[in-house]
Every structure is written in C-alpha cells, then in structure tokens.
C-alpha cells in the first residue's frame, strides 16, 4: 500500500511521466514487502514552487507514504534513488529535492481498512 506523490515546478511530458511511473514503480521495492502492484502514483507538475526563496531552479517535493513502518535504511536508499530518477528524467538537481516519508497503521482500501 505505498503511495508516491511528486510535486514539481517543471512541466512534464507524457513520455517523462510514464518513465517516472516506471522508475518509481521499480524503486518502491526498496522497502521490504512493497511493490508496484499496490503502488498509487500521483504527479503534480507545473506547480508554483519556491525553494530557498527562489523560483528559478527546477525543484521537486516527493511524498512517500507507507502502510506499516518506514525502514530507516530503506528510506535512505530510496531518497538516493528518488533523487537519481528525478535528475535522470527531469534534470532536477538532487539539492533541489525534498523527500518526506510517512508511515501509517490505518490504511483503507475497497471499503475497509487493512
């Protein structure tokens, strides 16, 4: 039950969006027990964003939400991979990316909770 939300000030093409979905879909398996099969992916491009008081640079904010716990070693590895993906696909420098993790014990799906 992972969820990834990427907000960026860049305008993302259909091809880039598909590549991001694919690469993040593969990367989510960094977390034990997580896979693309249950991944919900949301991309919000063209956002009005500022980082360090500036709006000129390309930037991104990535939220990764997980059912259960967030493994610290896996999250460290995922941050590196997320920054790598954003640099490769969108040309966003890793120093212009924040990644936030959130774990929850309450996760609903299909009219009930896990």
pLDDT value of residue 114? 86
Confirm whether 114 is domain-assigned.
Answer: no
- The model's pLDDT over 51-100, given as tens digits with 9 standing for 90+, comes to 999 999 999 999 999 999 999 999 999 999 999 999 999 999 999 999 99
Strand runs labelled E in the chain: 3-8, 40-44, 60-67, 97-104, 108-109, 112-113
Boundaries of domain holding 36: 3-109
- 23-40 confidence digits (pLDDT tens): 999 999 999 999 999 999
pLDDT at residue number 42 = 98
CATH of the domain at 44: 3.30.429.10
In a domain, 45, yes or no: yes
Q: Considering the entire predicted model, what is its pTM?
A: 0.94
């Amino acid at each position: 039950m992972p969820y990834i939300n990427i907000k960026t000030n860049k305008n993302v093409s259909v091809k880039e969006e598909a590549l991001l979905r694919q690469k993040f879909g593969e990367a989510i398996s960094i977390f034990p027990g997580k896979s693309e099969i249950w991944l919900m992916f949301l991309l919000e491009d063209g956002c009005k964003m500022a980082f360090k008081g500036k709006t000129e640079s390309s930037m991104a904010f990535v939220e990764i939400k997980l059912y259960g716990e967030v493994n610290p070693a896996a999250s460290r590895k995922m941050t590196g991979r997320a920054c790598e993906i954003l640099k490769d696909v969108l040309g966003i420098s890793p120093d212009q990316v924040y990644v936030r993790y959130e774990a929850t014990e309450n996760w609903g799906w299909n009219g009930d909770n896990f």
